[in-house]
Amino acid sequence: MMVATHVAFGAFCAVSAALILHLPAMMALLLLAGGLAGSLLPDLDHPKSWLGRRIPFLSRPIAYLFGHRGITHSLLAVVGVFYASAACLHGWGVQLGHAMPLVLGLCVGYASHLVGDWLTPAGIPLLWPIRIRFRAPLMLLRPRMAEPVMTVLLWFGAGFLMSRAL
């Protein structure tokens, strides 16, 4: 899955979560910001990814130790992102009650990335360190036009849901 599709899916999932939780507009925007950022985080394990090229001092060691679609594409990583982001915000003096939509958004975006990669033939090691790869029963992203069409539909869906939330 390409970066544009991951970001669109992260936005769609974050806006959906904000609607489900009936968050006020400011908290919904924090959740959306977290969802956009979180949707890119799992590919930090690939030095040539969009995020990996911007943070090579983190990307290269992670790629060397775990490879692409290793630990960063697991449920363990989602839990780690939650605790690491909450700890960072707390350490910076940010009240977690006010920042929790951002932390939740990071986790929603991160999980959306995992779902997106689950839809590909390569699958993901969801239960890492167990090396079994989980794949969707139907590979939705094989056709060449499926991903661009899905990206556009996700952005329209996220925009529509955001208009309903405001």
Do residues 109 and 10 lie in contact, with contact meaning Cβ atoms separated by under 8 Å? yes
Sorting pLDDT into bands at 50, 70 and 90, what band is 139? low
Average pLDDT over residues 136-155: 72
Do residues 16 and 161 lie in contact, with contact meaning Cβ atoms separated by under 8 Å? yes
Measure the CA–CA gap between 142 and 154, rounded to whole angstroms. 18
Do residues 42 and 82 lie in contact, with contact meaning Cβ atoms separated by under 8 Å? no
Question: For the whole model, what pTM was predicted?
Answer: 0.87
> Residue 155 pLDDT more than 90?
no
Measure the CA–CA gap between 75 and 15, rounded to whole angstroms. 21
- Which of 24, 6, 3 is closest to 158 using CA atoms? 6
> Residue 71 pLDDT more than 60?
yes
36-54 pLDDT tens trace: 999 999 999 999 999 999 9
Structure tokens at 94: 């940010």
Sorting pLDDT into bands at 50, 70 and 90, what band is 16? very high
Check residues 19 and 158 and name the one with the higher pLDDT.
19
78-133 pLDDT tens trace: 999 999 999 998 888 888 788 899 999 999 999 999 999 998 888 899 999 998 99
